[in-house]
């Protein structure tokens, strides 16, 4: 049964008959624990379709367990053990959605949203009778959003949260700090927002989220069962910190000319400096309370160019200990596996380049001579990160560059001439282009080198970096229609996704995107509805 739903349900079956959903329908007397879920569903249907559900009949909700689907692998970003398994049944007399938790029922209603959007004509959605029993393969399913190189304000972040919710993604990982800026308040360190937040990449305007703005974003996400995880990138990617507090910078900073008017500093925080740790503690004490739903703090740990292996390991170990001492768990980019990590730590795998098959002689001609050996050295070390992480008992969060870095250029042509111009401009050419089909042509276990079993993987997280992204339209154009593919890989229990079947489901999604005024690449490889 090929339903126009993404991610694909674990189990579905068709039966005779149908039920027509229209303006006179709604949710019949939901249990008190589900009142908020019911209200959210009605509001989302209106935004997706324009259909206002004003009645109190037709759709019934229930808190009942679902045991026909395996439990999810991995850990959740909120640290809980929430069961997301749910059922959805459509018969001639109405629709029933059930699950053992409010979040499970929300996931079932999300499938119903997509069905209504796909079948709506002249104000009525005639839904074919059938039954879905569903639940996720992985507990952690998310998106890492770079708000540093281009600052995306609260309104745009809310739009991204809405996208995550529509595809049952449950984590927004905010990359809040980097060389180009600092985007979160630390009251004891005012220069971080007074100085370090002022700019972004290529003279783009900077900005930061006030404490009240972050509180609203975190609450908005929580209402949609999305956990916001903060990342404070260290010990590398800290040029903005040194701009605000020069006393934390190394005495000598090596700079690599990138040949395009920009430069990259090979400078890192110093683990032997007492002031470094006073700063890190101030930051953690200010930021952790702003993300109360997150059980994790992301400590970065990547690309610590110019830092000795010993200093890098010492920094990671002490920073991780400070996070744990504050009652939080540690997640970091894969390089943290080069330190002595804890079995409860999560290692985010991203460098999936096969160095043995890499032809460095064919590297981009505009790549600076000084940069290539640094990159090659990093890739040589990266080959050992996953084995080290697994040997330490830690687990992997899958974010492989090949399939889940959404700053790759779009390979698919678009039917929109204006988008075709943007397509040529957007994305890092160094990675090479990727098609929409590429995004679903892999498996989070079978495709990751060094991973042998599903128990070693906690989940899937796409990443969008904003070097080439200037506007919110650019951002959405690079996210859609890729984001549903990431959701498919994180949720679906099928290890192989058929492109023809998937693209047919994807084609129906454009109707909600159009109503939501989201920007998406109108790929000529998909027969959009």
- Dist CA 195 CA 451 (whole Å): 43
Instruction: List the one residue out of 137, 131, 163, 156 whose CA is nearest residue 47.
Output: 163
CA–CA distances in Å: residue 444 to residues 24, 373, 404, 428: 43, 30, 10, 23
* 8 Å CB contact between 258 and 371: yes
* 8 Å CB contact between 99 and 108: yes
Instruction: List the one residue out of 328, 346, 324 whose CA is nearest residue 336.
Output: 346
- Dist CA 128 CA 19 (whole Å): 7
CA atoms within 13 A on the CB side of 9: 28
Instruction: List the one residue out of 11, 4, 39 whose CA is nearest residue 492.
Output: 11
- No. of helices (H) and no. of strands (E), the chain: 16, 19
* 8 Å CB contact between 304 and 353: no
Encode 259-294 in three state secondary structure. Answer: CCCCEEEECCCCCCCHHHHHHHHHHHHHHHHHCCCC
Quick one: DSSP state of residue 6?
Answer: S
Q: Is the backbone of residue 227 left (phi > 0), alpha (psi -120 to 50) or beta? A: beta
Helix (H) or strand (E) holding 62: strand 58-63
CA–CA distances in Å: residue 305 to residues 85, 198, 242, 381, 488: 44, 25, 15, 12, 35
Q: What are phi and psi of 461, to 5 degrees?
A: -145, 120
Residue 512, token pair as written in the block: 């909600």
Report the catalytic residues.
303
Cross-strand partners of 395: 346
């Amino acid at each position: 049964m090929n339903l126009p739903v993404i991610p694909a349900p674990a189990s579905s079956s068709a039966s005779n008959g149908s039920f027509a959903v229209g303006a006179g329908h709604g949710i019949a007397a939901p249990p008190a624990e589900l009142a908020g879920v019911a209200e959210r569903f009605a509001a989302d249907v209106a935004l997706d379709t324009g259909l206002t559900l004003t009645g109190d009949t037709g759709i019934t909700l229930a808190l009942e367990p679902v045991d026909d689907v395996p439990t999810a692998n991995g850990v959740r970003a909120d640290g809980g053990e929430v069961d997301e398994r749910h059922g959805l049944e459509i018969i001639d007399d109405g629709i029933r959605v059930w699950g053992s938790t409010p979040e499970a029922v929300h996931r079932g209603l999300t499938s119903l949203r997509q069905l209504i959007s796909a079948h709506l004509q002249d104000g009525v959605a005639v839904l074919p009778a059938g039954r879905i029993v569903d639940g996720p393969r992985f507990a952690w399913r998310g998106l890492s959003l770079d708000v540093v190189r281009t600052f995306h304000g609260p309104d745009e972040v809310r739009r991204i949260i809405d996208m995550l919710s529509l595809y049952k993604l449950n984590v927004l990982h905010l990359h809040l700090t980097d060389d180009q800026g600092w985007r979160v308040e630390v009251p004891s360190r005012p220069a971080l927002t007074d100085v370090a937040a002022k700019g972004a990449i290529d003279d783009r305007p900077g900005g930061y989220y006030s404490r009240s703005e972050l509180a609203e974003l975190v609450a908005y996400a929580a209402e949609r069962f999305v956990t916001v995880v903060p990342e404070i990138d260290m010990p590398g990617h800290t040029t903005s910190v040194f701009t605000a507090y020069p006393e934390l910078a190394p005495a000598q900073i090596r700079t690599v000319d990138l040949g395009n008017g920009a430069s990259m500093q090979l400078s890192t925080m110093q683990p032997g400096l007492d002031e470094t740790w006073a700063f890190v503690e101030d930051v953690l004490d200010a930021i952790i309370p702003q993300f109360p739903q997150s059980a994790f703090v992301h400590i970065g740990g990547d690309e610590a160019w110019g830092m000795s292996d010993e200093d890098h390991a010492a920094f990671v170990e002490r920073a991780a200990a400070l996070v744990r001492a504050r009652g939080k768990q540690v997640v970091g980019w894969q390089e943290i596996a080069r330190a002595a990590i804890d079995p409860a730590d999560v290692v985010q795998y991203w460098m999936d380049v096969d160095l043995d098959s890499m032809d460095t002689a064919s590297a981009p001609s505009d790549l600076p001579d000084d940069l290539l050996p640094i990159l090659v050295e990093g890739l040589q070390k990266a080959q050992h990160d996953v084995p080290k992480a697994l040997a330490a008992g830690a687990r992997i969060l899958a974010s492989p560059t090949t399939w889940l870095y959404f700053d790759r250029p779009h390979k698919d042509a678009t039917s929109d001439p204006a988008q075709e111009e943007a397509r040529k401009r957007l994305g890092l050419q160094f990675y090479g282009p990727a098609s929409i089909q590429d995004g679903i042509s892999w498996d989070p276990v079978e495709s990751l080198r060094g991973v042998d079993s599903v128990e070693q993987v906690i989940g899937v997280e796409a990443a969008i970096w904003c070097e080439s992204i200037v506007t919110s339209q650019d951002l959405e154009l690079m996210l859609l229609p890729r984001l549903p593919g990431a959701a498919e890989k994180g949720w679906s229990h099928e290890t192989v996704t058929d492109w023809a079947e998937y693209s047919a489901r994807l084609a129906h999604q454009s109707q909600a995107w159009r109503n939501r005024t989201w920007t998406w690449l109108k790929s000529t490889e998909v027969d959009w509805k």
